[in-house]
């Protein structure tokens, strides 16, 4: 019984993380009916922001040598949390603006310029790698030159591109963005695993024979707070209401004077910041390896969790995440090799019974 309870607690801890990531998936899906495959990679970026903040940008103290610095570290950790949320929100907005908006509104001039620059980036890096001196100035110059050449070329090539409504298309675009972030991550951060050192004091205690760990509890508490804030935003604020309006009917929302593009941006920012927070917390408080593929598996699991709960349904995502975490944990304690399979089998079974997920509304197509 105790062992069961313990396993359950572990499941909830994992599930909270899935839930945080799943919320981002589900919000975007609710608003745009798009599987934002890049969401897991935003989570990865959050972890990397955390890594660089903890090891280079911010003056964290090594607790094993300065035990008195705990208070300072806690303050800095909070700053890091906001920093990764902020940077990830910006990333989310950028992704939406230049990868998904062209799908809705057509490929505009500004998009051509942006992608021209993006294509120029690896070329620039290549020029940088070629020059033996590796002078930063030359590199920057080459980048600007190539970027300026690429922009009009792109802009010219892509005149009069109409928006596409194909779902498959949107999916492949999202996968493409995910691949850019992963492979770009390998080029920028390197593929070798990185670990965030211990930044917070840890304490272990047991209650009724069940082991608790302070850093895990922190994750749980912060996750709960963030979800509560999200719930408040979605239910009671103007942009939150606009979000819900869009998820019901984007065209009607547009006609009612809602600036849909801005609200969609906001949705992405919200989802991405949650993923960023989760990425930082997981990397910093569980000290698992931070690699460019950090978000692949959790991203997929979280997405499955979102679908499980009913894509587009916010409480559903939280519930789906928790269920996934608990079921995985229970299976892993007995048959660990089937852990990943169980996630999918559970999904398949639930979707066959309830095609719209646990809390999703089953809307039959109108004839």
Partner 1 sequence: MIQLRQKSSLFGALLLGVALFGIGCKDKEEAKPSGTGKTGETTDTASRGNTVTGDTIKIGEYGSLTGDNSTFGISTHRGIQLAIEETNAAGGINGKKLELISEDDNSKAEQAKTVVQKLVSNEKVIAVIGEVASSRSIMAAPVCQDAKVPMVSPSSTNPKVTAIGDYIFRVCFTDDFQAVVAAQFAWDQGYKNVAVFTDVKSDYSKAFGELFAKKFKTLGGKVAAEPTYQSGDVDFKAQLATIKGATPDAVLIPGYYTEVGTIARQAREVGLSVPLFGGDGWESDQLIPGAGIALEGCFFTNHFFSHDMTEPHILSFIAAFQKINPGKQPGALDALGYDAAKVIIEALKRAKSLDSVALRDAIAETKDYQGVAGKITLDANRNARKEAVLFKIVGKEFKIFKSYRPEQVGL
Partner 2 sequence: MRWLLGRIGVVVLTCAILLVANRLLIDNIKEYYISVLVLCGLYATLAVSLNLINGITGQFSIGHAGFYAVGAYVGGAWTMLMRPLVVKSLPILQTGTQLGDHLNLFIALVLGTVCAGLTGLLVGLPSLRLRGDYLAIVTLGFGEVIRIVILNMDVVGGPRGFTPITALVNDHGIPLVWVFGLLVVVVAFSRNLVKSAQGLKFLAVREDEIAADAMGVNTTRVKVTAFVIGSAFAGAAGVLYAHCQTGVNPDSFDMNTSITVTTMVVLGGTGSISGSLLAGIVLTALPELLRYDFIKDYRMVIFSTLLVVFMLTRPQGIFGHREIALPRFLRRLIRKKENAP
Binding region for partner 1 (CB under 8 A)? 3, 6-7, 10-11, 14, 64, 186, 191-195, 197-198, 204, 206, 211, 213, 216, 282, 286-289, 291, 293, 297-298, 328-330, 332-334, 336-337, 339-340
Nearer to partner 2, 231 or 354 (CB): 354
Distances (CA, A) of 345 to 12, 56, 145: 20, 42, 52
Minimum Å distance from CB 180 to partner 2?
5
Nearer to partner 1, 86 or 186 (CB): 186
CB closer to partner 1 out of 46 and 240: 46
Ramachandran quadrant class, 99 (left: phi over 0; alpha: psi -120 to 50; beta: rest): alpha
Q: Which of 8, 75, 1, 5 lies closest to 322, judged by CA?
A: 8
Contact by Cβ (8 Å): 42, 88: yes
The answer to whether residue 118 forms part of the interface with partner 2 (CB under 8 A) is: yes
Q: Of 10, 11, 17, 29, which lies in the binding site for partner 2, with binding defined by CB under 8 A?
A: 29
| Whole-number Å distance between alpha carbons of 278 and 78 | 13
What SS3 class is residue 108?
Answer: coil
Q: Toward partner 2, which CB reaches closer, 175 or 229?
A: 175
Q: How far is CA 331 from CA 16, 262, 335, in A?
A: 17, 43, 6
Residue whose token pair is 């079921």: 327
Residue 152 in the binding site for partner 2 (CB under 8 A): no
Task: Choose the contact partner of 288 out of partner 1, partner 2, none; CB within 5 to 8 A by kind.
Answer: partner 1
- Measure the CA–CA gap between 306 and 320, rounded to whole angstroms: 6
Would you say 66 or 289 has its CB closer to partner 1?
289
Q: In the bound complex, what is the minimum distance in angstroms from residue 191's beta carbon to partner 2?
A: 11
Yes or no: say if 48 and 184 are a contact pair by the CB < 8 Å rule.
Answer: no
Contact predicate 293/57, CB 8 Å: no
Contact present, 282 and 17 (Cβ < 8 Å)? yes
CB of 97 to partner 2, least distance (A): 12
Of the candidates 113, 124, 180, the residue with the CA atom closest to the CA atom of residue 150: 113
Sites of contact with partner 2 (CB under 8 A): 29, 33, 35, 99, 102-103, 107, 111, 115, 118-119, 121-123, 125-126, 129-130, 154, 157-158, 161-164, 166-169, 171-173, 175-177, 179-180, 183-184, 186-187, 300, 303-304, 307, 311, 337-338, 340-341, 343-345, 347-348, 351-352, 355-356, 365, 367
């Amino acid at each position: 019984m105790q062992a069961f309870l313990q396993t359950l607690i572990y499941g909830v801890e994992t599930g909270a993380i899935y839930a945080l990531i799943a919320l981002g998936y589900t919000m975007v899906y609710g608003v745009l009916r798009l599987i934002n495959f890049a969401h897991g990679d935003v989570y990865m970026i959050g972890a990397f922001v955390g890594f660089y903040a903890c090891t280079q940008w911010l003056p964290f103290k090594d607790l094993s040598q300065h035990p008195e610095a705990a208070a300072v570290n806690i303050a800095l950790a909070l700053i890091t949390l906001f920093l990764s949320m902020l940077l990830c929100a910006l990333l989310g907005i950028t992704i939406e603006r230049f990868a998904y908006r062209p799908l809705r509104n057509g490929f505009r001039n500004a998009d051509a310029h942006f992608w021209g620059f993006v294509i120029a980036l690896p070329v620039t890096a290549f020029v940088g790698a070629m020059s033996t001196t590796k002078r930063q100035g030359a590199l920057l110059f080459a980048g600007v030159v190539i970027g300026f050449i690429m922009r009009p070329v792109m802009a010219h090539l892509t005149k009069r591109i109409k928006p596409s409504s194909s779902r498959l298309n949107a999916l492949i675009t999202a996968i493409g963005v995910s691949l850019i972030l992963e492979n770009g991550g390998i080029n920028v951060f390197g593929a070798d695993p990185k670990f965030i050192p211990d930044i917070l004091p840890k304490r272990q205690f047991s209650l009724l024979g069940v082991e608790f760990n302070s850093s895990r509890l922190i994750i749980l508490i912060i996750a709960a707070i963030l979800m509560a804030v999200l719930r408040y935003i979605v239910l009671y604020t103007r942009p939150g209401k606009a979000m819900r309006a869009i998820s019901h009917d984007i065209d009607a929302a547009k006609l009612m004077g809602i600036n849909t593009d801005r609200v969609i941006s906001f949705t992405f920012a919200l989802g991405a910041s949650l993923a960023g927070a989760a990425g930082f917390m997981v990397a910093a408080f569980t000290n698992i390896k931070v690699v460019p593929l950090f978000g692949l598996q959790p991203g997929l699991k979280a997405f499955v969790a979102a679908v499980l709960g009913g894509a587009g349904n916010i409480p559903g995502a939280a519930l789906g995440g928790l269920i996934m975490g608990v079921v995985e944990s229970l299976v892993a304690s007995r048959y660990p090799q089937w852990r990943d399979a169980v996630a999918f089998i559970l999904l398949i079974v639930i979707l066959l019974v309830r095609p719209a997920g646990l809390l999703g509304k089953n809307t039959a197509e109108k004839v």
